[in-house]
Amino acid sequence: MSLRLPGDSRPSVDVWLRGFDLDRFLHDHFLDVLIAVPFRVREDVMTDCRFRVFDYEPGPGCVCVPVSSPARGALGGSRCVVLKRTLRERAASFVRYVIAHELAHAHLRNLGRHPGEDPEHAADALAAEWGFPRP
């Protein structure tokens, strides 16, 4: 299946996101965040075969969370978002903030927006810029 971003319709983003087999609650919130972020951010993650999204239910026996390997060089850094399913117990504004914050980390490859910027500050600032401020 080829990814068609120019139309960038919600259904096409939804189909792409289904490939990660997320918990339905998290899927729906992640979809809303993806639709709200700038096109260049959505395009960045949707066209990168290294980008991954995982969710998991913490608890006994859950000791391993799959992650993708970071690339080397200028475009290195993690391209993985990992979410706990316990987010189901939180307010929607917090869930979407967490998703936007983690998506910002992936977009920035766990770096700041400029040299010397703290990556956490950068992710919070981008999440807020995208409409998902820290509650």
Helix (H), strand (E) at residue 16: helix 10-18
Q: Which residue would you say has higher pLDDT here, 34 or 49?
A: 34
In this prediction, residue 113 has a pLDDT band, given cuts at 50, 70 and 90, of very high
Residue 11 in this model has a pLDDT that exceeds 50: yes
What residue segments make up the domains of the chain, in order of their start? 10-129
Give the CA distances from residue 8 to residues 20, 39, 105, in Å, rounded to whole numbers and listed in that order. 18, 8, 22
pLDDT of residue 67: 56
State the average pLDDT for the chain.
86
